Each structure stands twice: as C-alpha cells, then as structure tokens.
Amino acid sequence: MQKKSFSIFLVFLIYLILALDIFANQYFLYWRFWWFDIIMHFLGGFFIVLLAYYIFFLSGYFNWISKKISVFALSLTAVLVIGILWEVFEYIMKVSVQQTNYILDTNLDLLMDTLGWLVAYFFLLKIGNKKIKVAKDKEDGKID
C-alpha cells in the first residue's frame, strides 16, 4: 500500500469511527447493546496503530525513530497509553462507575484495544511482506 492510499484509508477509518460514535450517542447504542463499546475499542486500537505507523514511519518527520524503535514496541505503547488515558477519562467523568462491573468493563476495553493493535500489527506485517515481495520480483525481472 502506498503512502497516499494508506493516508486515504486512515481518513476513511477515522470518519467511520466518528460516524459510528455520533450514531451510537444519538441512539444510545452504548447503553442498548453491551457489545457496541467492544467494537469501538477494537476499531480505536486498530486506528491508533495505523496512525502511529503513519506518523512515525511513513511521514519522514521521525527518521531517527525507525532505526531505534520497532513498529511493534511503538504501536503497542501508543495503544496502551491512549487506552489507559481513555479509561481514566471515563472514570473521572463517572461513565464507568455507573456500571455494576466497571472493573470488568475496563479490562475488556483494554483487551479490545490490544486486540485491535494485534490485528493492525499483522495487517502492517502483511503490507510489509507484500512490499518486499514486489521489490524482489522487480529485482528478478518478473515485474517491469
């Protein structure tokens, strides 16, 4: 995936997350369906990984990072920090305290953030392997 198409995919994904959140708040989907929050945390973790990859590795602004820190460590750290900050925000705003099992909900939210990270990380690995294969095929003369 090229840089331009990757950035278009990121914009599409953030608009999808934003539209789902607006729709969910408008129609109380977070309270009607217990699983809707799980989907949103998964998508959030997925998006954060792709955004971190774009900012720190594709943009070219942080060339020193790509040599010292792997995508694995940076993206996992980004997902966990943002996920934990979000849970702190929910606690401060008394969102999660109103639930009967808010500790279970917090753990499930962080687990889904991490699962979103894992899927996005494997997505990035697949893209990277595809680029390597195309480059090898060009070197071997299989692709013009």
Question: Who contacts 129 (Cβ-Cβ below 8 Å, separation ≥6)?
Answer: none
Q: Nearest CA to 76 among 57, 48, 56?
A: 48
Whether residue 84 is contained in a domain is answered as yes
Instruction: Give the separation between CA 4 and CA 58, rounded to whole angstroms.
Output: 10
Each residue's pLDDT expressed in tens, for the chain with a length of 144 residues: 678 889 999 999 999 999 999 999 999 998 899 899 999 999 999 999 999 989 888 887 877 776 557 888 888 999 999 999 999 998 888 876 667 788 898 999 999 999 999 999 999 888 876 764 555 555 666 555
pLDDT of 1:
66
Whether residue 29 is contained in a domain is answered as yes
pLDDT of 23:
97
Cβ burial of 84 (10 Å; 0-12, 13-18, 19+) is: middle
Q: What tokens were used for 19?
A: 């539209």
pLDDT of 96:
67
Contact (Cβ atoms closer than 8 angstroms) between residue 114 and residue 82: no
For the entire predicted model, the pTM comes to 0.84
Whether residue 143 is contained in a domain is answered as no
Whether residue 134 is contained in a domain is answered as no
Instruction: Give the separation between CA 16 and CA 14, rounded to whole angstroms.
Output: 5
Residue that is written with structure tokens 């279970």 in the block: 104
Q: How many CA atoms lie within 13 A of 50 on its CB side?
A: 24
Domain that holds residue 10: 3-125
Q: Cα-Cα-Cα-Cα dihedral of 118, 120, 122, 127, to 10°?
A: -170
pLDDT of 100:
77
Whether residue 116 is contained in a domain is answered as yes
Number of domains into which the chain is organized: 1
